[in-house]
Amino acid sequence: MDRVRHAVIAGAAVAAALMLAPAVAVAQHCHIPDVDPGAATEAASSWWLEARAGAIAGATDFMDESLDYEGLRLSVQGGRGRLSARVALPAYRVADEGVGLGDATLALSGDLLPGRGRVRAGLGASIAAPTGDADGGRGMGHVMVAGGPWLRMGTDRVDATLAVTLASALGDDAEHVLHRHAAAGWPLVDPMNPREVMGVARVVALLVPGGLHAGAQLTFATPVGLDGEDRVIGAALLERPFGRYALHVLVEAPLVGDPFVARGSLELSYRFPG
């Protein structure tokens, strides 16, 4: 019953958003933020800038205890030509642990193909700083670095993206043994292995011209060299643009492993004129 109750809590904000405004979310891992390769501009001399504010709700089980959490994530993403970058800082309220910052992240992405055709490919890298309280479940407790290739194929109505990332913890706390959790997957708000290979496959289709986009995403991760567990997460995506604004919704549920019971996010973005 606790799992059902907390799953309802995790999805309540997202469900309300779906009813009030058909909306999507660019998939994002707290410690490996996704720099959207589709945001790059056609002209090498052009620049773009986008700001996002997102609300997050989730529920998890830890040591036979059911916990829920809510958060706010602020991010700015921008670029010029084939290069893009993103900075993000979340804050969370974790049940029984209070309110505090999560881990701050910086991500970079470069498009390696000179043209802007149907197929694009590039490399991405990111670093997460331990600004979140690890013992409170809001942060990793150490620096995380990640990098890997991405591939994007698109038509007028459908876009597909595949990304593979190797992520690793740095520092003396890299094996997650100095926090009270002593667990391979942490933090509570977005658990991951201290060293892992992560793959993300995403397909998004235009359902209504000039309006609603919908898609699905599958995330797979497996530990490398250190203790951990495999996980597979399925997600539904929706997006609804309104001029320079857009609403983004992401609803996730684990298929393999137990990283959380359920999780969802609602984001509002604004694209500044370039």
Q: In the prediction, which pLDDT does 1 show? A: 47
Instruction: Determine the Cα–Cα distance for residues 51 and 6; give it in Å rounded to an integer.
Output: 30
Cβ(167)–Cβ(198) under 8 Å? yes
Q: In the prediction, which pLDDT does 173 show? A: 54
Q: What share of the chain is helix, strand, coil (3-state, %, to 5)?
A: 10, 55, 35
Q: What is the count of structural domains for the chain?
A: 1
Cα separation of the two ends of the chain: 51
Q: In the prediction, which pLDDT does 226 show? A: 73
Q: In the prediction, which pLDDT does 42 show? A: 46
Instruction: Determine the Cα–Cα distance for residues 173 and 190; give it in Å rounded to an integer.
Output: 18
C-beta pairs of 172-178 under 8 Å, 24+ apart in sequence: 172/142, 173/134, 173/141, 173/142, 174/142, 174/226, 175/226, 175/227, 176/140, 176/141, 178/141
Q: In the prediction, which pLDDT does 255 show? A: 93
List phi, psi (to 5°) of 5.
-60, -45
Query: Which portions of the chain are predicted below pLDDT 70?
Result: 1-45, 114-117, 171-185, 274
In this structure, what CATH number is given to the domain that contains residue 11? 2.40.230.20
Q: Which domain holds residue 111?
A: 2-272
Q: In the prediction, which pLDDT does 81 show? A: 80
- What's this model's pTM, rounded to 2 decimal places? 0.81
